[in-house]
Structure formats: structure tokens, C-alpha cells
């Protein structure tokens, strides 16, 4: 029998590569990697490291990928991160494989497009409007009812997301996001997208995250994560995710219905989705929809059936297998994304052994090397690491994560300033 072969699109900054590769080995699936590593150096890398594609120029990347894959039979195209979902949609269409349309993928990557789609589709949505960073923030005040949340259009992981409760906070947040968008890393973004800020009314309530799989437009919810820490601003750094959800069954059904409606409005059809939503007395507000799996190393908290990882489930689904009873979560589990208290240089980490000794803690993974810079939200794009727990109940998982986090200490020293001549 022919071994199935997938094209895995991974930015060089991904956390996800190892978990996908391990899943492919377990399933006896061949993987062709496509990354955005330097094209000048790519020819010097071994062939098994895959393709070097210009992710920031998706049409050029599609042409280059199709030329390289001309003599290969690809069974699925998988995006490991937000940055590759649009390219994955384009390649799946060109290769005649199940996937999402380019239009749908683009809506998930642009917060303004998503808000407009939800408002037009009748979903509960905040009031919103757009502002150009070149315009004075004072000009926005007549349109604003505080509190509001300001967001860049393309970034993920709460990066650049700031709540403002009054004009002074609004001006500070506006200028801070504008400065962030002037960073060199955003130079290749489409100019209009990188030069605008979304301003929307603040939605109070409890936040949840949803992991799901779409099959020909039909949604299967794999997990609902509770977020027990309040996310009220001014920044929205996520910490603890726990599943299964402790919300009542009727609330979970309402979440399922809202997420399915959101995917239908966007036009998503096939593959994994990760969704952020807020719950309050007015209902379920879908905040973000991404056409990929949960970010960072958070997927390691999920085990299905007899121990199958989320990546295994996604690969099996992508290569045409039916996913039925295998998608039942096994036990209660959780992850803590270790927060960054302040920006600087990570000088030392202590207490890891003590944290691992806390009952139910499975792993503590520090992902930023010692002596590297760490950047706190809203400018930062990474966490200090991830901590995982598994227990009989969600309450035990949460308690263990909090107890273990109290054992950890991160010594962050001020970084040396670089003087510009």
C-alpha cells in the first residue's frame, strides 16, 4: 500500500514542528516540509528539510511549491500556524485537495474582515470601526463609547491588544500599537493592513477556547477549554486552559452552535479550527477564528481515545480517515502558558524540580533559552514556556497548575539599551 504524503507548512518560528513530525512517524505518513527559511541558504540545506517558500508572497510561493511537487502525489496540505493558513488554502485548491477557500482563509487572518462578516451574518458582535495609524487618535473620540479594545488587524496571541477605559488610556494604547506596527518584522505586510487599528467595544464575560474539526462544513467540537483567569485588560495575556469545560451542558451546546455558525458565515469547510469566544448574559460572542490547531505547545494537553495526540487526529482526518469515537477526550487536563512579568533578559530559572514534584504535573517546558531577550505583552509574541497537568477533575488540574507555578521563579534582568547614533 502506498504511504500517504502530506505537505506541512511551518514558519521558522513555529513551536509545532516536532509534534506534527512525531505524529506522522506514528501514522507512517511521509512529510514534505515547506518553511520560510532563508532562500539564499536553502540550497545548502539537506533535501529532507524540504522547500524554502516566500510565505510573504503567497502567489510566488504557490508557483514554486507546485513546480517542486510536480512529480509527487500529495494527500493533504496542513498549516501549522496562522502565518501559513492562506498559503495552505491556495495550495489545497491548486492540488485538488480538501481545504478552505482563499476568501475564507483570508477572513480568519484579518480581524476587520472577520468583524464585518459576523456583523453581516447576524452574529453577536461588538461595535467596531477602523483607524489609520497616521491619523491623530483624537479624531476617533467622537465614535467611541468606553471601554474599548484596540487591536492590530493581523497579529495573534493577544499581541498588540489593549483595553482603554478613557481618552488618556486610548491615546497611550493607540500610540503603543502604532509603534509596534513600525517594527521591521512587519515591513512585508500589506501596507494597508499594517497601518490600521481595529477599535471595538469591550465585551465583558468569561472566555473560552474551542478546538474543532470541520468535515465538508460540519463541525466536530474536540475540546472546550475554560480560562479560569479573568481576561479584563489592559492586556490580555492568556495563562491557564483547562478541559473538559465546567460550564453547564446547555452553555456548551450554545458554544457549539455559535462556533458552527461562525464557520459557516466565514465559509470554512475542512480541517482544524481554533476559536476564542466570550460568554455573558447576552450569549456567545465569537472573538477569533483560526483555520489551524491551538497554538504554542498547548496541544500536548489533549489526548484522545487511547492516547492519540491532536496532531495524529488532524493528520488522520486530513488524509481521509473518518474520525468518530477516536475524538473522545481522555480525562481532565490543562496547560499553563507561563506569563512574562516584564521585558528584559532571562538570567535564570529556578524551581522547575519543585514544580514537577507537585501532584498531577506532567511536564514543565521552558522554551526561551537563558540569556535571551523576553518581551512582555502587548509587544511580545512568546511565552516563557508551558506547563502541563493531568488529573481526574478540571478542578484538580487547575489547582495543580497554580501550585506548580508558585514554585517557579524567573530572574529577568534589564536588557542593555542600544543607542542609535
Q: Give the domains, in start order, of the chain with CATH numbers.
A: 5-100 (3.40.50.20), 127-201 (3.30.1490.20), 333-421 (3.30.470.20)
**Rounded-to-integer distance, Cα 413 and Cα 278, Å:** 36
What Cα–Cα distance (Å) separates residue 144 from each residue in 45, 125, 166, 182, 276? 52, 16, 10, 25, 24
Q: Do residues 294 and 209 make contact, with C-beta atoms less than 8 angstroms apart? A: yes
pTM summary value: 0.93
Q: What confidence tier does 46 reach under pLDDT thresholds 50, 70, 90?
A: very low
Buried b (16+ CB within 10 A) or exposed e, 149-180: bbbbbbbbbbbbbbbbeeeebbbebbeebbeb
**Rounded-to-integer distance, Cα 48 and Cα 346, Å:** 34
Backbone φ and ψ for 6, nearest 5 degrees, come out as -120, 155
Angle between helices 310-318 and 17-27 (to 10 degrees): 60
Q: What is the pLDDT of residues 55-98, one digit of tens each?
A: 888 999 999 999 999 999 999 999 999 989 999 999 999 999 99
pLDDT of residue 38: 53
With 80 as the cut, is the pLDDT of residue 366 above it?
Answer: yes
pLDDT of residue 305: 79
Q: Do residues 181 and 152 make contact, with C-beta atoms less than 8 angstroms apart? A: yes
Q: What is the pLDDT of residues 233-265, one digit of tens each?
A: 999 999 999 999 999 999 999 999 999 999 999
**Rounded-to-integer distance, Cα 117 and Cα 206, Å:** 23
pLDDT of residue 47: 46
Q: What confidence tier does 107 reach under pLDDT thresholds 50, 70, 90?
A: very high
Measured between its terminal Cα atoms, the distance across the chain in Å is 64
Amino acid at each position: 500500500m502506498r504511504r500517504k504524503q502530506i505537505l506541512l507548512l511551518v514558519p521558522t518560528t513555529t513551536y509545532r514542528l516536532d509534534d506534527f513530525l512525531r505524529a506522522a512517524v506514528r501514522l507512517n505518513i511521509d512529510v514534505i516540509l515547506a518553511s520560510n527559511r532563508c532562500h539564499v541558504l536553502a540550497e545548502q540545506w539537506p533535501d529532507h528539510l524540504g522547500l524554502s517558500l516566500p510565505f510573504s508572497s503567497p502567489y510566488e510561493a504557490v508557483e514554486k511549491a507546485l513546480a517542486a511537487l510536480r512529480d509527487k502525489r500529495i494527500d493533504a496540505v496542513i498549516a501549522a500556524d496562522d502565518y501559513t493558513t492562506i498559503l495552505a488554502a491556495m495550495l489545497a485548491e491548486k492540488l485538488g485537495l480538501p481545504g478552505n477557500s482563499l476568501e475564507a482563509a483570508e477572513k480568519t487572518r484579518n480581524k476587520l474582515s472577520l468583524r464585518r462578516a459576523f456583523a453581516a451574518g447576524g452574529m453577536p458582535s461588538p461595535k467596531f470601526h477602523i483607524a489609520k495609524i497616521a491619523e491623530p487618535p483624537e479624531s476617533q473620540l467622537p465614535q467611541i463609547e468606553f471601554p474599548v479594545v484596540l487591536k492590530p488587524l493581523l497579529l495573534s496571541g493577544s499581541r498588540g491588544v489593549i483595553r482603554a477605559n478613557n481618552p488618556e488610556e486610548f491615546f497611550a494604547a493607540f500610540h503603543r500599537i502604532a509603534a509596534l506596527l513600525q517594527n521591521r518584522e512587519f515591513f512585508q505586510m500589506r501596507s494597508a493592513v499594517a497601518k490600521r487599528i481595529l477599535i471595538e467595544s469591550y465585551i465583558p464575560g468569561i472566555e473560552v477556547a474551542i478546538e474543532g474539526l470541520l468535515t465538508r462544513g460540519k463541525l466536530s467540537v474536540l475540546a472546550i477549554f475554560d480560562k479560569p483567569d479573568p481576561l479584563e485588560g489592559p492586556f490580555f495575556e492568556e495563562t491557564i486552559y483547562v478541559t473538559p469545560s465546567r460550564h453547564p451542558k446547555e452553555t456548551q451546546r450554545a458554544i457549539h452552535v455559535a462556533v458552527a455558525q461562525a464557520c459557516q458565515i466565514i465559509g470554512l469547510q475542512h480541517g482544524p479550527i481554533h476559536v476564542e469566544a466570550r460568554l455573558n448574559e447576552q450569549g456567545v460572542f465569537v472573538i477569533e477564528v483560526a483555520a489551524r490547531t491551538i497554538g504554542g505547545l498547548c496541544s500536548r494537553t489533549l489526548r484522545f481515545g487511547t492516547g492519540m495526540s491532536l496532531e495524529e487526529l488532524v493528520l488522520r482526518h486530513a488524509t481521509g480517515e473518518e474520525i468518530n469515537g477516536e475524538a473522545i477526550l481522555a480525562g481532565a487536563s490543562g496547560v499553563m502558558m507561563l506569563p512574562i512579568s516584564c521585558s528584559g533578559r532571562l538570567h535564570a530559572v529556578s524551581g522547575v524540580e519543585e514544580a514537577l514534584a507537585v501532584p498531577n504535573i506532567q511536564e514543565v517546558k521552558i522554551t526561551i533559552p537563558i540569556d535571551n531577550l523576553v518581551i512582555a505583552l502587548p509587544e511580545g509574541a512568546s511565552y516563557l514556556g508551558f506547563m502541563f497537568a493531568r488529573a481526574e477533575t478540571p478542578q484538580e488540574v487547575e489547582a495543580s497548575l497554580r501550585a506548580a507555578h508558585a514554585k517557579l521563579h524567573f530572574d529577568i534582568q534589564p536588557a542593555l539599551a542600544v543607542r542609535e547614533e
